[in-house]
Structure 1
Amino acid sequence: MKLVHITPHLGGGVGKAHAALCAADDEAWKRRYVLLEAPRDPHYADLVRASGATITVAPDAAALDALMRAADLVQFEWWNHPLLLRLMAWTDLPPMRSVAWSHVSGLHAPLIPPGLIGAVDRFLFTSACSLLSAPLSGVLAANAGRIGVVNSGFGFPRPVPGDTGTGRAGRVSYLGTVDFAKMSPAMFEVIDRLEADVVVDLHGAAADDSPVRAAVAAMRHPGRVRLCGHSQDPAAVFAQSSILLYLLQPNHFGTAENALVEAMSLGCAPLVFANACELAIVHDGETGFVVRDVAEAAARLDWMLARPDAVAHIGRRAARDVARNRTPALSLAQLRTTWLAMLDRPRRQPSLSAALGSSPADWYRRLQGLEDDDCIDAAGAPGAASKGSLAHFRAHFPDLEARK
């Protein structure tokens, strides 16, 4: 089976997922990855290539058309990247068997355009939480036979060198995006309210002018937070921690939550807010703890700090749960089942422009949940060109219209 993956790049969580899947696949040499832009960090692309897959970077239109026509199946790695939208909406795609694997939840912006689900042959989510999406409720019911869920967040294999066993008791960490676009500012109020005098290590890059640094400075007990910067070795962080304090914004953009799954795989007991994504991963009282507000979070964290044996037990259950349910081998088997079932289907030309819109402004509005006559600037503030942001779109489409 000749499989072509089309993806903007192989960085971040998407690259990590595919590197793990290719490493588990003894037929990875049959895969070709088409990257729409050169990778900024080639780490995961190099791992994919080392597994035997072929990588083609930014082919011209004729070469890409030939690759898609020769493939038994084309899989679009979906998220709100301007280059992927340009390809899908503006290209006269050839007849194909098409799959889209969504690497955003669609619960909040960036939304998943409802028409996209019916435009491809199969649509896969990375988390069951996406099935709760209110904007997608009608289209999910109408297309139940072509929808599936395949996890893309995997744990570390055990054992991991550096696991300190009982020496990790009482150590609390956060690892991930140190930015209020994802992490909740309530985390610092929770830490301030603790009866226990504990230090929480925050692992992740934070600029000198980051609002996170300002929030720490404004705490009553700023010494309880240690900004550790980016970690090159998350496994070591988790192996030396007993509690993962993972309190995120209710409308955060995550779905597979690699850091959460990786921490659980190494026996960290997570404390999370009751967001849909986290609820699909953490089972309250069994593999971690789910709380609904600051007061409950502070009380539960104090409870955890006072009961290291109970926390260790929860951590062991979390590790077993990940080992059973969140492995590359399991996701690969689910993907392969989907792919093989499609080989008898006739090729058809996907009509993606109607689902996405005809202009970059249309794409951006639909992904942000804006009406056709809404001002684009209302959905995004100026800033760095983070993935799918207004600045990101304007970096690729400088004449992006401010109004329709």
Structure 2
Amino acid sequence: MGGGIGSAYAGLGACGQEQRVLLLEPPQDQTTLDKVQSAGFQIIQGTENPCIERELEWADAVVFSWHHHPALTKFLHDFPAVPIRSILWCHVSGNYFPAISAGLLRSFDQCIFATPFSLELPQVQALGTEYLQRHCGVVYGLNDLSRFTRIKRRPHERYTIGYVGTLGFCKLHPALVDFYGVAGMSDARFMLVGAPSTKEELLSAAERRGMAGQLQFCGQLPNVEPALAQMDVFSYLLNPQHFGATENALLEAMAAGLPVVALDQCVERHIIRNGETGLLVHSPEEYGNAVRYLRENPEKASLIGAHARADIMKRYEIEENRRRFLAACRRADAGEKHLHHFGEFFTGEPADWFLSAVDADRQCFEEGRVQDAGLIFREKTKGSPAHYHTHFPENHRLTQWTEQINCLKRKTDL
């Protein structure tokens, strides 16, 4: 319930409907749990079959929050013989991993994407225009951004280029410090807000460039507004294989009126209008030119930030997004409840269920070349082999892949 998904439910609110959240395991991150309950949701710990079946029978529509979590995968594989109307809510873009497949989409009556970028994926486009119009929709971030528009800039001594979000390299660009170094701003500070999981690697790279003293690690903050108030530029350099969809941190910075520099890729290019509400770049050299330009042209930087705030508050207006969500529910409600056989998609054993969301790197696992797979597969969670292994410890292939990844990480640490 933490992070973007918790914020989405809290932002959705009651919508004039009776809504319940069925949790398949106790939430590890409870930062938004109270907020979701306050928004009008009843939270139910669904660990027993009678409870689950009762809730499924009660619902007019059942929304499945999907980001390839192993608990939800097992739930779908063992889905009870209860007729429902189903909606898949994709909380990832599907760009790389977890990959969205046409087979998964067709298993549900309706699908909600968190970004229009997902509609551009080849496997989604292959479903055809008519299918997409009847069965798919886009609901942008449901985070209430209004409080960020009231942020007032705080005086600070050093020019500050900031970032808020995941510091793991499955999300953050692995060459982040190289981008910073090319900017050539020896008097600037780079403020990083987020759990410092890669602090040592980033500091080591910064030391090689002689700029370790410029990195400021703020940790994970319960309230990011004071940090945003001290930033001059919001730098959002993500791994090209990142899984993000809504990108709440980016939306919050733009709502705060900060000029943004980001890579011209994936979801980012759907959020930022290049040259108008932010600057999109393709390389460290372009990044350096962009941040220097904003520093040397403060009036232009301020204008870009103002345009960003106005555009984001219009496009991501929370009431409009609630209406989009309810439209998907109404489309599902137009059909009759029926039995779902999700097990026909999640065939084989748990290792195969994990691979159902692996596309580009599938051969790396099938051929025993785990070391060649992307960095996200080395995470402990996020639908990785290790994450699936914690839920299915007896599965031989998951055990093998997890051991190989752990060995690879130990060698990297040395």
Q: TM-score normalized by structure 2?
A: 0.88
Supply the AA of the counterpart residue of 1:41.
D
Residue 172 (structure 1) aligned to one of 143, 155, 161: 161
Residues 387 and 40 of structure 1: is their aligned pair in 2 closer, same or farther, counting only changes over 3 Å?
same
**C-alpha distance in structure 2 between counterparts of 1:377 and 1:394, whole Å:** 18
2:282 is matched with which residue? 292
1:181 corresponds, among 150, 161, 170, to 170
**Which residue matches 2:8?**
17
CA separation in 2, counterparts of 1:11 and 1:377? 33
Match of 2:390 among 365, 389, 395: 395
SS of match in other structure, 2:36: helix
Question: Which residue pairs with 2:179 in the alignment?
Answer: 190
The 5 Å alignment of 1:4-403 reads 10-22=1-13, 25=14, 27=16, 30-141=18-129, 143-144=131-132, 145-152=134-141, 154=143, 156-158=145-147, 163-164=152-153, 170-197=159-186, 198-207=188-197, 210-369=200-359, 370=362, 374-375=366-367, 378=370, 379=373, 385-402=380-397
Matched residue pairs, number? Answer: 392
* Deviation at residue 344 of structure 1 after TM alignment: 3.0
**Post-superposition offset of 1:167:** 6.5
> Judging changes above 3 Å, is the alpha-carbon distance between structure 1 residues 106 and 319 closer, same or farther for their aligned structure 2 residues?
same
Does structure 2 retain, via aligned residues, the 8 Å contact 1:385–1:395?
no
Distance in structure 1 (CA, Å) of the matches to 2:250 and 2:77: 34
> What SS does the aligned partner of 1:185 have?
coil
Partner of 2:366, secondary structure, is coil
Residues 207 and 186 of structure 1: CA distance in aligned 2, closer, same or farther (over 3 Å): closer
Cα pair 2:66 2:88 within 8 Å, conserved: yes
Q: Distance in 2 between matches of 1:195 and 1:376?
A: 42
User: Which amino acid is 2:356 matched to?
Assistant: R
Same amino acid, percent of matched pairs: 26
Give the SS at the match of 2:345: helix
Q: CA RMSD in A?
A: 2.5
Distance 1:186 1:86 in 2: 36
Deviation, 1:82, is 0.1
Q: Distance in 2 between matches of 1:38 and 1:368?
A: 26
SS at match of 1:47: helix
Q: 1:376 to 1:329 in 2, by over 3 A?
A: farther
Name the SS of the counterpart of 1:188 in structure 2: helix
The alpha-carbon distance between structure 1 residues 354 and 159, as it changes in their structure 2 partners (threshold 3 A), is: closer
Distance 1:101 1:262, change over 3 A: same
1:260/1:162 Cα in 2 relative to 1: closer, same or farther (>3 Å)?
A: closer
Shift of 1:206: 1.5
Partner residue, 1:3? none
Indicate the larger mover: 136-145 or 360-369: 136-145
In structure 2, stretches of 5+ residues that fail to align are 401-414
Q: Is the 8 A contact 2:66 2:89 kept in 1?
A: yes
Q: Residues 174 and 209 of structure 1: is their aligned pair in 2 closer, same or farther, counting only changes over 3 Å? A: closer
> How far apart, CA to CA, are the structure 1 residues paired with 2:174 and 2:365?
33
Amino acid at match of 1:255: A
Distance in 1 (CA, whole Å) between partners of 2:147 and 2:160 is 20
SS at match of 2:380: coil
Indicate how the Cα distance of structure 1 residues 93 and 47 shifts in structure 2: closer, same or farther if over 3 A, else same.
farther
